[in-house]
Amino acid sequence: MLAAGRAVLMVRAAVVMRGLVVCRRMLVVMRYLAEVDHRTHGAQRKQHEHQHQYENFQRPTHAGDAITRLESGDARPLMKTTLKPGLSLTKKIMVDESRCIGFMGKEGMVYATPRMLSDVEYACRDFLLEHLDAGEDSVGTHVSIDHLAATPLGLEVTIDAKIVEIDRRKIVFSFTVKDIEDVGRGKHVRFVGETAKSRERLAAKRKKAGLA
């Protein structure tokens, strides 16, 4: 009888121990599930916050739509929708004496690099005017150029430029210049602004410098 009682107690103890092990495993699983649920809700909350920020600030687009900013709940257009990357222009110019260097004599008169730059700038500026509102204009803020070959006096050159980027009011052009071969290529950046505000800033600068 005593041996049988001990056997029963051992069986019961084994059952209890197995139950404790199962409970411990269940506790570990429950903690893991709770942690996963917490992380999931946290990620969803951050996604909602990011979406809310995006709805209150619309970033500039490079797909050709109007560039707008939401400010105090109102959309303020910065550019016309007609101005978009991919637009291009072509301008032909005769290389006359006013566009040539003169320090190499008559036979050595060729298209001067500064005049090439000026012609590219004005070609891009005139093109942008077709897409700006009254009272707006653009100024050059950057130009880089490779002058690849000489263009003799009397030849015609063709300027081809294309808008490759629009960042709010900054317009980036790539360009090439050709006569019977490639003679120039580079990048030109212009910034669109209101002429009245530009005149005000210039007047303030002249006054600060002591100019009449």
Looking at 3.10.129.10, 3.40.50.720, 3.40.1350.10, 1.10.260.40, the CATH number of the domain 82-208 comes to: 3.10.129.10
pLDDT (0 to 100) of residue 73: 41
Q: Which two tokens stand for residue 189?
A: 């950046």
The per-residue pLDDT for range 72-83, each reduced to its tens digit, is 343 434 567 899
Q: Calculate ∠ Cα 136-139-141, nearest 5°.
A: 145
pLDDT at position 103 over 60: yes
d(CA 123, CA 112): 17
The pLDDT value recorded for residue 81 is 85
Sign of torsion over alpha carbons 147, 149, 155, 161? negative
**Residue range 32-62, pLDDT digits in tens:** 555 646 565 554 554 444 443 333 333 333 3
pTM of the model: 0.64
- Which residues, 6+ apart, have CB-to-CB distance to 187 below 8 Å? 142, 143, 144, 172, 173, 174, 175
Rounded Cα distance between 39 and 21, Å, is: 27
